[in-house]
Chains A and B, each alone.
Chain A
Amino acid sequence: MKLSFSKADEKFREEVAQWLNDNLVEEFAQLKFRGGPGDEHMFPDERKKWEAKLAEGGWIGIAWPKEYGGRGCSIEQQVIFNEEYARAGAPGRVGHIGEGLTGPTLIAFGSEAQKQRYLPGILSGNDLWCQGYSEPGAGSDLSNVRTKAVFDEAIGKWLITGQKVWTSLAHESDYIFVIARTESGTKGHKGLGFFLLNMDQPGIEVRGIKQLTGTSEFNEVFFDNAECDAQDIVGKPGEGWAVAMGLLGFERGVSTLGQQMQFQNELDEVIVAAKNNGTHKDPMIRQRIADAHIGLKIMRYNSLRMLSGNGDDGSLQKEALIYKLFWATWHRDLGELAMDVLGPEAEILSAAPYELSRMQALYLFVRSDTIYGGTNEIQRNIIAERGLGMPKDIRPTL
């Protein structure tokens, strides 16, 4: 157990910092510290251009193996990249779903043809992806999806019909991955398929959903015989669940470290606000700010432990998702702290009709952190069942 980075890694850190410093200028300067949670709808076009800039520098897919066009970075280097990225205030990534979820999933489960077809577009920063998992009847209970996929022999394509909901950034995306039922009459984990679809087709309609922030970052997506090429099902028909779950495993990667640096920026803003209005002298606020700082520090140690080992060697067990439960709850508390620091000023909007300040947006948006990516309750179930070997909940037989 040792914490210091090697000389080579420290050099890599300088390289990353230098590149960001050189490139986060001119048209991109305005993107600094933008596009994070609660701010994801801002500057979509500029942020897409930023993706291309990142690609040019070879900074997309740094974790991917070299044979697929990635950089093949070590865990340490990924840690460093994410830390420096957030330290520089580089903008929230619009390409994160493709890079962090689609790519690794295709590399692990995809056919050679799928890799050839889709990986380059992700690496170039050109193709943006969204995640078509949740449905009105399938939230926490994801396996309850009803969207159907039928193979049409005549045209040699899958036809997808149904509805997805809460689909983040669907309105900005070029592609969507969808779980749908390939075998009618099946229930639960069986009979599902994992499909890759082009968003730009008549069979798909996207409707924005207005969130409690007044902005619109997620959507409903309707499928009416939307087409998917025969070769674009990942894994075999009926075996989509394994792919879908494999993908969720990638959600807990190194990118969480970048997220923490962004949390740090938010906490810093809260501290500045407290110093400005004198609440930093209030003993209760002092305790809560310190607590937030402590939580964030430990969050970093959690990720380092999670990335370091196999769970039996002092590292953090990956299957017991304390990680998500911890950060989501921490972030929610930070939002509340931000408001309590501001006091009555917290209520006053930046402008009518409903323009939120960054701290207000933070406060409202964090209410979703304990919901998406598995709610806190679902996390606790997983921790108890997989982490502690406690019995599963009783559910009606399928």
Chain B
Amino acid sequence: MEFSFTDEQLMIRDTAQSFLSEVSTSSAIRNTMGTEHGFDDNVWQRLCTQMGWQATHIPEEYGGFGLGYVELVIMLEQMGQHLFCSPFFATVCLGANALLVAGTEAQKQHYLPQICNGSLTATLAYTGSSGKWDAHSVDAVVLAKDNEYVLNGVYRYVPDGHTTDVLIVAARNSDTSGQSGISLFVTDANAKGVTREYLPTMDQTKKQAHIVFDNVVVNEHALMGEYANAWPLLDKILNLATIATAAEQVGGSQQVLNMSVAYTKERVQFGRAIAGFQAVKHQAADMMLRTEVGRSAVYYAACVAQEFFDGGSLARELGEAASVAKSYCSDGYFKNAGDAIQLHGGVGFTWEYDVHLYFKRAKSSEMFLGNGAYHRERVAKMLLD
């Protein structure tokens, strides 16, 4: 048992930190967040070709580095901390994970090397308009017809769905509900019958799309996993993505704490730095507690995710570890970000200071893949039903 980073992992963290502090400055964030595209193509290409981050946990046989989920989480934490605008999450934590978990060998060999060389982005679309995140949220419909599948429906809140090259979508047989009858497909995002629309969002640093499938026809090679029985796989994919989101949240929690401590040490009122007032210190202490506790949950979940890929015994804890991390980090990040505005006083209420960017990200990430209450209810089901 070793619950701290190896030297190699520390190096990854430090590299991520220095790269992101160069490319994801406040002005860079503000330049990209205002665009519909949502990220800087040059930076994304540098990330993919020079750093190779998107290939971190993809096995070497598909052109990746074959590192673990812990390494991935280390990077995600830094991306959250630097509010990095990119299709990384969509491509790696949704797209690549979906391919790794549910893809056929042929699909993996086709798509993963393209992700690894930076020529392809991907995302996952599964939620309809219900506002839910579990199996019930899948309301697009699939009709099987002579080795082909016809897909119809609406997907909402799809991360980067308006820009990615590939869509992985969930759809269900028309007479099913809940966890039954769900299938997964991978398709070109520009396939005939697909309409993708950018959804402007309050948190401008994460882009979302509204996607309509109108009689989209895909062939049998597009099917991922077992037909009409893909929920168990989708569930795993979502758990992995949930852990990734929690990692970004911990980075954000840390950043708003850093900003608040730095600001209150500088700001003088009543003849002393306001960081010296106990009411301020105690809020900061609680922020540190929430950050560190969230971090413990995320690192543990990362180890569990790693065991999931390695077939270790902790793999069975995947769902629980994801919910533990996401519920704690969602609430913790939001509270921290709110407190950060408070500790900044009037300037925290301005567009100019970055605090509001984190405050907005905290809320969007809290909502995404289920908020604290949603994940607590998942845990409650495990314990009580």
Contact = CB atoms under 8 A, between A and B. Distances in A.
Chain B, interface SS category: helix
B314 A3 contact: yes
Interface of A: 1-6, 9, 76, 79, 271, 274-275, 280, 283, 286-287, 289-291, 293-294, 297-298, 301-302, 304-305, 307-310, 313-317, 320, 322, 325-326, 377, 379-381, 383-385, 387-394
Nearest to B312: A4
Contacts of A384: 281-282, 284-285, 288
Contact of A5 (B1, B297, B312): B1
B4 interface: yes
Contacts of B300: 3, 297-298, 301, 304
B209 to A, nearest CB: 32
Chain A, interface SS category: helix
A380 B303 contact: no
A325 B285 CA distance: 10
Q: Which 3 pairs show the lowest CB-CB distances between chains A and B?
A: A309-B4, A384-B281, A391-B276
Contacts of B6: 1
B384 interface: yes
A387 B2 contact: no
24 contacts: A1-B299, A1-B303, A4-B1, A271-B384, A286-B377, A286-B380, A287-B377, A289-B383, A290-B377, A294-B328, A294-B376, A297-B297, A298-B296, A301-B3, A301-B300, A308-B3, A310-B4, A313-B5, A384-B288, A387-B288, A388-B257, A388-B284, A391-B273, A391-B276
B222 interface: no
Nearest to A267: B383
B33 to A, nearest CB: 29
A308 B4 contact: yes
Contact of A305 (B4, B261, B288): B4
B379 interface: yes
Given A4-B314, A305-B299, A394 B276 contact: yes
B4 A388 contact: no
A389 B261 contact: yes
Contact of A314 (B4, B282, B293, B328): B4
Contacts of B261: 388-390
Contacts of B323: 294
B278 interface: yes
A271 B384 CA distance: 8
A280 B384 contact: yes
B173 interface: no
Contacts of B182: none
Contacts of B275: 390-391
A283 B2 CA distance: 38
B272 interface: yes
A275 B306 CA distance: 34
